[in-house]
Each structure stands twice: as C-alpha cells, then as structure tokens.
Amino acid sequence: MSKQRLNLKTVSTLAAGITVPNYDRSAVTAGIVHLGIGAFHRAHMAVYVDDLLSKDPSWGIVGASLRRPDTKDALEPQDGLYTIAVRDAAGTHPRVIGSILKVMDANTERDALLDLMASPEVRIVSLTVTEKGYCYEPSTGELDLNHADIQHDLSNPSAPKSAPGMLVEALARRKAAGIAPFTVMSCDNLPNNGQTAKRIVTAFAAKRDADLGEWVKGVAFPSTMVDRIVPSTTDADREEVASLIGAEDAWPIMTEPFTQWVIEDNFPSGRPAFEEVGAQLVQDVEPFEHMKLRMLNGSHSTMAYAGYLGGYEYIAEVVGDEDYRELVHGLMTEEVIPTLDMPGVDLEAYRDQLLARFANPALKHRTWQIAMDGSQKLPQRLLGTIRDRLAAGQSIDRLALGVAAWMRYVMAIDEEGNEIDVRDPLALKLLAIAADAGEDPEAYFNGLVSIQSIFGTDLIDNEVFRNAVLEQLWSFWQDGAHETVANYQLSAQE
C-alpha cells in the first residue's frame, strides 16, 4: 500500500515521536538564498536554521540548484519539507526539517531567482557548490578565465550559469537598485573559503565592469568550516524512512549524529543568531579549516582511494581493517597534527573522535562517493600538508601513499581488471595520461604531476616528493592496495 506523501498537510499525522517543525511555517519569510541545494546543505545549515526559526522567522531559506532540478522535483510536492535521518549504532532517528521554503531551478527560473537574490529581505547568499563550482584553479585558487561557464557568463552577464556569474549579476542588480549587498557565505570544503569566494567573485565582477568590481570589494565574505558526514541516499534508505515516519519522502537525507559549524563573524547586513543553535562564531576560521580539511578530508580521500582499490565499498569497512586504520591513525598523528597550529584544541582527541565517526557501522558511506572530484580535492586535503612538511624537512610517507592511491585510482581500472567509474572534471585528461604512459609508472607519474591546476609548479621538481610518491605508486602497481597499506612503513624505513 502506498503511503501518503510528506507535506504541510500530512506532517501533523506522522508516526508518534517524530520531531517536526515547532514554528508556524506560514509566518516564515526568506532571508537566505542558498546556491547548491544538495544533500550536504540539507543535513547541515538547513538544520541549524530550522532550530532558530521559532525565535526569528525572517531567516527562511530559498534553495537553488544550478545544475540539476532533482531536488526541486523531490521537494516541491512536499512543500519543501524533508526528513533527516541520523544514524548511529542504536538505529535511525528521523526528524522533519521545514527551513527550506522552496527550491528554484536556476536553469528555468533564472530571472526570478536573480530578482529574489536582489531583494532587500535576502541578506545572506550561502553556497555549497562543491570545489568545482568555484570555476577556479585548485592549485592557486584564482578564477579560471578559460572555464567554459565563466566565458559564457562574461558574454551573457544577465543570464549566468556559474555560481560566480549568478552572485555578480544579483549584486549588480542590487547596486543598480541602491540596495546594500548581501553577505556571501561559502560553506564548501575549501581552505579560506570566504577569501576564495571573494577573490573569484571580485575578479569576475571586475572583468565585467570596473565600477562593479570596486563595489563588490565592499561585500562581506565570511569563511566557514562545515562538518557533517552525509552519504548519498539509497532506495533502501527511502523505504526505511517511509516506514519510520509513516509517509513517503522522495529524498530523505541520511547523516551522522556529529555536526560542527565554525563561522567567521562578519555579517554587515545581519545574521541569524547561529551561536544560539550550536555554531561557533569566531574571528578567524582558517585554523579550523586546516584542521578539518587535513585531518578529516585528508584521511577520507586516502581511505577512499586506497580502500576502493582494496575492494572496500564503505569507509567503516576500511577503518575496520587494522592495517588501514593504522595508516590513517599514523597519517593524522605523525604527519598532519604537527602541521596544525590550534592552541587549546586537543588534536589527539579530535583524531580519535574522527576514527570513531569513520567507524560508524550504520552510516554506509561509500569510498566511491568520496573518491569523486579528486583533482579538485587533493590540493587542500593532502598537498598543502605535504608542502608544509617538505619545507620543514619532514617525512611525507603516508601522505605520499594517499597521493599515489589517487594516481592508481584514476587509471580507472581496478585490481581485478574491472572499470572504475571515475567522476572528475579532469577524468578524460587523466585517462589520456594513463593511456600514454602504458605500463610505465614513472611516465604516468610525470604526466600527472605536470597538471599544474592540481600540483602547481613546485612539486614536479621536488625529489623527496617524487621519490616518496613513486615508491608507493610502484607498490600499488605491483603489489596492490592491501600490501601497499600493510607495508608502507617498511618501505619508509629502508
């Protein structure tokens, strides 16, 4: 029997004990437009906002998708309501979130969306557009003027496709109407995400028109560090949530109990009282971003590539393998923690908490999901740490293993000879390099390390980096992932 659909009419009839919005939804107005309304936003910022709407209903969210309309299709019949289902060893705990008032498809509703972004009641435009949405060079963080979407948006400024193009057009409309700018809040996993967003948006604006470029320099771009693990939703998850809540939800969001949000307190146009709902408001987010990107995401990417190649589907299985666990423990303890400057923070405790989060057996976080877009992720997750350690004359063996695992993974053939579905904006280029190199790991290494958008211009000539990564790459090539992970210390000691 098919169940009723989750929406404003049915929300009061859900199974007993399900937490639902505790505010009058009809009184909530839009104060935030969020670009990139994917699963991460719905498990993170939208939950913090849901927690504060009973005190201040002027901060509802209108979400926008820049690429696919799938979130709009799922949430429109549900009046924007959806479930987050928190998973731990004790079970799955659903809660209905109401902070997303509606979802707009930037492709079909572009003008209406830009007008909304330009309206005075919208005071924050937040972003989770993923690394590639910034249309930048990952190694330098500079706007990529050759990017097809940037070229399109410079020629068609009032009908933009890219996130920088949308932000600048909305800001231009505000400027023309004499309305103060909104604050741009990046919630992506980039170091200095506020500064990065600012660099890209101001560069794009200045390219459009010098006056606009100057005006945009006055916009606030607070940095934030965001953290919550959000595996993709499966059909089995949908069924479980439907039976728990007593209604169909086309797109529930599965997540872990842990959540963290550190925000730079720089909102000249006003902000919700995020500190009252668990966020940390600080003056400088950068140390937190380094900590999270290098510890959590650096470990994640290493486990994703080496784990996938070792035949593991989920992160919990990877850390369940003693050799992998020891690798990641050693990576964080010996190679990452010494690069971090976090007075007053117990980094060993943070590491142990991460290992426990990775081991959450209920979470089902796919190695393949984390493996996506490695060309965009490697610089901030592994290469920054490597540079700091090389500069200090310190060893990089485990970090090099992570880089080598990525190199082996993007050959797109697994250890059984099966194809790997490599999702990456540079996938074709990576494949061409593998094809040219044939059976020669050194030629393959040389080809990859010459991609400046990933490796910059310095690492190609660094002997320590070359030797360390090549050694691990040889080992992946000849002995496979399990042996490489089990033996990295032996080879490092020789």
Amino acid 8 reads L
| Block residue for tokens 């200095």 | 192
Nearer of residues 48 and 204 to ligand CS2, judged by Cβ: 48
Burial class of residue 16 in the structure, from the number of CB atoms within 10 Å of its CB (0-12 exposed, 13-18 middle, 19+ buried): exposed
CA torsion angle 12 18 24 25 (round to 10): -90
Q: Give yes or no for residue 366 binding ligand CS2 (CB under 6 A).
A: no
Q: How far is the CB of 37 from ligand CS2 (least distance, A)?
A: 16
DSSP state letter for 205: H
Q: In what order do the strands lie in the sheet with 253-255?
A: 91-97, 82-88, 253-255
Phi and psi at residue 258, to the nearest 5°: -70, 140
Q: How far is the CB of 173 from ligand CS2 (least distance, A)?
A: 33
Of 4-12, 160-168, 204-212, 369-377: span binding ligand CS2 (CB under 6 A): 369-377
Q: Binding-site residue total for ligand CS2 (CB under 6 A)?
A: 10
Phi and psi at residue 119, to the nearest 5°: -85, 150
In whole angstroms, what is the distance from residue 361 CA to residue 316 CA?
6
Question: Which of 45, 229, 332, 459 forms a contact with ligand CS2 (CB under 6 A)?
Answer: 229
Q: Give yes or no for residue 266 binding ligand CS2 (CB under 6 A).
A: no
Of 69-77, 292-300, 386-394, 419-427: span binding ligand CS2 (CB under 6 A): 292-300
Burial class of residue 325 in the structure, from the number of CB atoms within 10 Å of its CB (0-12 exposed, 13-18 middle, 19+ buried): middle
Within a 10 A sphere around the Cβ of 292, how many other Cβ atoms?
Answer: 21
Whether 333 contacts 395, CB under 8 Å: no
Distances (CA, A) of 438 to 100, 198, 411, 414: 50, 42, 10, 15
Of 83-91, 194-202, 243-251, 293-301: span binding ligand CS2 (CB under 6 A): 293-301
Q: How far is the CB of 299 from ligand CS2 (least distance, A)?
A: 9
Nearer of residues 262 and 434 to ligand CS2, judged by Cβ: 262
Question: Which of 87, 110, 199, 300 forms a contact with ligand CS2 (CB under 6 A)?
Answer: 300
- Write down the number of H helices and E strands in the chain: 23, 11
Question: Which of 65, 183, 195, 297 forms a contact with ligand CS2 (CB under 6 A)?
Answer: 297
Q: How far is the CB of 230 from ligand CS2 (least distance, A)?
A: 6
Per CB under 6 A, contacts with ligand CS2 among 164-203 are 189
Pairing mode of beta strands 124-127, 183-186: parallel
Phi and psi at residue 10, to the nearest 5°: -90, -10
Q: Give yes or no for residue 227 binding ligand CS2 (CB under 6 A).
A: yes
Q: How far is the CB of 57 from ligand CS2 (least distance, A)?
A: 28
Q: How far is the CB of 95 from ligand CS2 (least distance, A)?
A: 19
Nearer of residues 374 and 447 to ligand CS2, judged by Cβ: 374
Q: How far is the CB of 313 from ligand CS2 (least distance, A)?
A: 15
Q: How far is the CB of 254 from ligand CS2 (least distance, A)?
A: 12
Nearer of residues 21 and 310 to ligand CS2, judged by Cβ: 310
Position with the least CB separation from ligand CS2: 300
User: Which residues bind to ligand CS2, rule: CB under 6 A?
Assistant: 189, 227-229, 296-297, 300, 369-370, 377
